[in-house]
Structure 1
Amino acid sequence: MTSDPKNLAPERRQPRMGTIVSGVLVAAILIAAAIAFAVRQTSPDPIADPQTAATPSATATPLPGGVAGFAVPEVDIFGRRVDIPLHPDGQLREQQIPSKTSTDRDWLTAPPAGLREPGGWQRVHGVVVPFSTSDGPTWIRDGVAGGYAHTPQGAALAAAMSVYQVAARPGDRAVLTQRLVLTPADQARFDAGIAAGRLPRQQPAARTRGLLAYDAFRVESYAPDLAVVRLASRSNEPTTTAAGSSAARAWITASVPMVWNGTDWLLRGNGNSLSTSQISDLSGWTSWS
C-alpha cells in the first residue's frame, strides 16, 4: 500500500473533522509514504515549501502562574489538553517514577507515568507527542527527543514520537538518524529526496494539524532487541445526523516495529507499509491518559 504524498494535506471540511483526522493519520502512519514522497514527487508543491512551515512554539507566550516551560495550553478537537512548550523541540520532564520491570504483573500492559498531567502531551513541530515521567524521553539532541527506557512502555513512547516526528519532519536528517533504522536503499531514497528539495525539513501546519494524541497502545510482542507496538488514534466520534443515521466511535491502528540499538528504541523502517486496521473497541488496550 503506497500513499500519494499530495494526499498528506488534510481536506478542510466541517464538521466531519473525524474523517479528516482519519485520513491524515493513515498517511502519517505509513512510513513508506515518506519514502514514496522522496522518490515519486516530480512537480513543485507549494504547500511543502519549508518556508511555509508552522511557526515554532518558541514564540509562544508563557502564562503567568502556569506550568513552567509552557505557554497557554490548547484543547484538541476531542476536548483533550495539549501543552505548548516554549521551546519548539519540546520540554523534557523529570523522571520521577521508576520504570516497570519484567517481574511486574503489568510489565506489558501498564501505561507510562505522567501523561495525564500537564506536560504529558506536547505539540512539538506541529504534532502532539507524549513526554512521560517514567520511561522517557530523557534527552533532546539536535532538536530530536530520545533516550527511552528499555521497557515496553519506553518502546511505546518511542513509537509514538518516531512516527509523528518523521511525518512532520521528513527532510530533517537529525530526525531520520535518531528515530529510524533504515536499509541502505531507503536511506539513499531519503537522501535523494532531501537533495532534490522534495522533502521539507518541516511540514506546514496544514499537514500536521490533524496528528493528535494517540488514545491507546498495545504491545503485540516484546523481546530485549525488538518490540512490536500497535498504536491507536481516534478517527471518529459518535455522531447522529438530522436524518437519524449515526456513526460509531472508531480508531485507526498501526503496528510499529521498534528495535533496541543499545541505548534507545528506534523505528525499524524498511520501505514497507505499516500494518493498519480500523477498530471500534479498545478492550484489551492500554490507555495512554
Structure 2
Amino acid sequence: MRRVTESGAVDDRPFWQQRGWQLSAAFLVLVLCSGVVTAVARISGSEVDNRQRPVAGPLAAGVASGQSRPEGCRTDDADQDPPRKAPADVKWQNLNGAKVPLSASAGPVRRSGPVLWCFAHTPLGAVMAANVIPRHMSGADWETVTVQQVVAGTDRDVFVARRSSMPAVSAQYTASSLAGFMLVEYGPEKATVRLLIRQAATLYVRTDYTVVWDGGDWKLRPYEGGELHSQVTEVAGNGGFVMWTV
C-alpha cells in the first residue's frame, strides 16, 4: 500500500510500518504496546491454517421471521433523546487490556461466548455499541466477534485480511482509557459516534465509529478500505464530549 506524505514523497513501506496505520492499530486495541512489531507472519497457500474458525452465534444469521430482535434480546427503547450524560448504571469490565462500559439499560445486556450484544435501539445504545465492540479486535476472539458484530461486505473482508496478517503481540500494555463520547449523527438505522481516548494525563485523541441497525442489533460498519474507524486525531481537550466517570 503506497501513501503520499505531506511533503509529497511516496511512502513505499508496508502498511504496518506506516505511522498512520500504526496509530490506527494502537487506537483499535486501546493500548500502547511495549514493543515494536517488526515482522508479519505469512501463511502460504500450501500451508494449513489451524486457527479456530468463528462459531455461529445469535447475530450471525439475523432474526427469525416475524421477530424484530434475536431470541432473548429485549431492551427499553423509549428514550430517543441524544445522551447528555453517561448512563447512571454503567459498570466497567476489563477487556483485552482496557476497561469497557456495560449498562443494564442501554446494553450490552446479553453475552454469548465472547460476544457482548443486545444494545438498546436508542442513541445511547448506539454509543455503547461503538464503545464496546471495537475492544474485542485486540483479543483472540476477534474473528468470532467480527462475524457477528461487523457488517458483512467487501470492507469487512479487507479488515479481516489485514487483521489476520498481524502477528501475536506480547500482552504487556500501558492501558489507554475511554474518556468520553459525542453523538455526531443519529438515525434509527445508522449512527456516528465520536470517541475521546485519554492516552496520557494531558493527551487525548479522537476517532469516529459508524454503527448500523442490522439483524436486530447495532453492528459496526467498516469504512472504505477496511478501517473500522476514521482517522485518529489528537485533540487539545474534552470540550463538547460527554465524559465517562470510572
Which TM-score bucket, shorter chain as reference? 0.5 to 0.7
Aligned to 1:112: 87
Report the CA distance between 1:193 and its aligned residue.
6.5
Quickly say closer, same or farther: Cα 1:265–1:3, change in 2 above 3 A.
Answer: farther
Answering whether residue 79 of structure 2 is matched by residue 101 of structure 1, we say yes
What's the CA shift string for 1:196-253, capped at 9, x where partnerless? xx456x76413xx34443110000000111100000011221xxxxxxxxxxx22110
Number of residues paired by the alignment?
Answer: 192
Identity of aligned residues (%): 25
Structure 2 counterpart SS, 1:173 = helix
The one of 104, 125, 144 equivalent to 1:174 is: 144
Aligned to 2:40: 41
Whether contact under 8 Å (1:113, 1:134) holds in the other structure is: no
Answering whether residue 239 of structure 2 is matched by residue 269 of structure 1, we say no
Report the CA distance between 1:6 and its aligned residue.
6.8
Whether contact under 8 Å (1:251, 1:278) holds in the other structure is: yes
Report the CA distance between 1:121 and its aligned residue.
1.3
TM-score between both structures, scaled by the size of structure 2: 0.64
Whether contact under 8 Å (2:182, 2:195) holds in the other structure is: yes
Quickly say closer, same or farther: Cα 1:233–1:189, change in 2 above 3 A.
Answer: closer
Whether contact under 8 Å (2:151, 2:214) holds in the other structure is: no
Aligned to 1:228: 192
Whether contact under 8 Å (2:119, 2:128) holds in the other structure is: yes
Counting only pairs closer than 5 Å after superposition, residues 45-56 of structure 1 correspond to structure 2 as none
Whether contact under 8 Å (2:180, 2:244) holds in the other structure is: yes
Mapped partners of 2:161, 2:111: distance in 1:
23
Quickly say closer, same or farther: Cα 1:189–1:229, change in 2 above 3 A.
Answer: closer
TM-score between both structures, scaled by the size of structure 1: 0.55
What's the CA shift string for 1:135-180, capped at 9, x where partnerless? 01111123111111111111111111122211334x6321111221
Aligned to 1:143: 114
Report the CA distance between 1:182 and its aligned residue.
3.8
Whether contact under 8 Å (2:181, 2:195) holds in the other structure is: yes
Mapped partners of 2:213, 2:94: distance in 1:
26
Mapped partners of 1:28, 1:192: distance in 2:
14
Mapped partners of 1:233, 1:287: distance in 2:
10
Aligned to 2:209: 256
Structure 2 counterpart SS, 1:101 = coil
Aligned to 1:36: none
Give the partner amino acid of 2:234: Q
Quickly say closer, same or farther: Cα 1:25–1:165, change in 2 above 3 A.
Answer: farther
Mapped partners of 2:24, 2:103: distance in 1:
25
Mapped partners of 1:28, 1:4: distance in 2:
14
Whether contact under 8 Å (1:28, 1:163) holds in the other structure is: no
Mapped partners of 1:180, 1:236: distance in 2:
29
Quickly say closer, same or farther: Cα 1:278–1:265, change in 2 above 3 A.
Answer: same
Report the CA distance between 1:108 and its aligned residue.
3.5
Quickly say closer, same or farther: Cα 1:147–1:6, change in 2 above 3 A.
Answer: farther
Answering whether residue 135 of structure 2 is matched by residue 164 of structure 1, we say yes
Structure 2: gaps spanning 5 or more residues: 4-12, 30-38, 44-49, 51-74
Mapped partners of 1:113, 1:130: distance in 2:
11
Mapped partners of 1:218, 1:211: distance in 2:
22
Mapped partners of 1:189, 1:250: distance in 2:
28
Aligned to 1:58: none
Mapped partners of 2:107, 2:159: distance in 1:
30
Give the partner amino acid of 1:187: D
Whether contact under 8 Å (2:194, 2:209) holds in the other structure is: yes
Structure 1 counterpart SS, 2:240 = coil
Structure 1: gaps spanning 5 or more residues: 9-22, 32-39, 45-49, 51-96, 238-248
Answering whether residue 171 of structure 2 is matched by residue 205 of structure 1, we say yes
Quickly say closer, same or farther: Cα 1:148–1:277, change in 2 above 3 A.
Answer: same
Aligned to 2:244: 288
